[in-house]
Amino acid sequence: MSTDAIVWLAPVLLVVVTLGQWIFLRSRYLDGLAKQRARHAQQLQLAGQHIEQAKRQIAQLQRDLSATKSQLARHLTRETMAAGRRAPPAAVSQTPREEAAPTRPGQPFDGFADTLPSLQYPHDPKLLTTYPTNR
């Protein structure tokens, strides 16, 4: 073989081998991607089934809870009627407002609000230099 044929044949052979390798690796990549997509679709379907099952269970639990509440209300009504009293409108008795806990736990004992100026937010610029704030 002449050197001219080898010089022309080597690049052609290199292109053919590179193209074959690219086709082979691309097909393996696409097969792996298809398998991964199939697994993902299966997991999505399984998750959807779990969600539907959970919704059915929640609906059943809500039905059971409402049935139990209505049975309890009927039972309480029967007991109060049997005792000769009228049934209260609510099963839980309400506490008067005077006995209720205070809404703010930090209220002063005498009921008056603190009216002293706060050193945390001074309005006088002199106080800013005299009293450093915690920032």
pLDDT in tens, 65-88: 999 999 999 999 988 888 876 545
Look at 111 and 64; give whichever has higher pLDDT. 64
pLDDT band at 120 (very low <50, low <70, confident <90, very high): low
CA atoms within 13 A on the CB side of 61: 6
110 vs 39, 97, 102, 113, CA distance in Å?
Answer: 69, 19, 13, 9
Q: Which residues contact 76 (CB under 8 A, 6 or more apart)?
A: 87, 91
pLDDT in tens, 19-67: 999 999 999 999 999 999 999 999 999 999 999 999 999 999 999 999 9
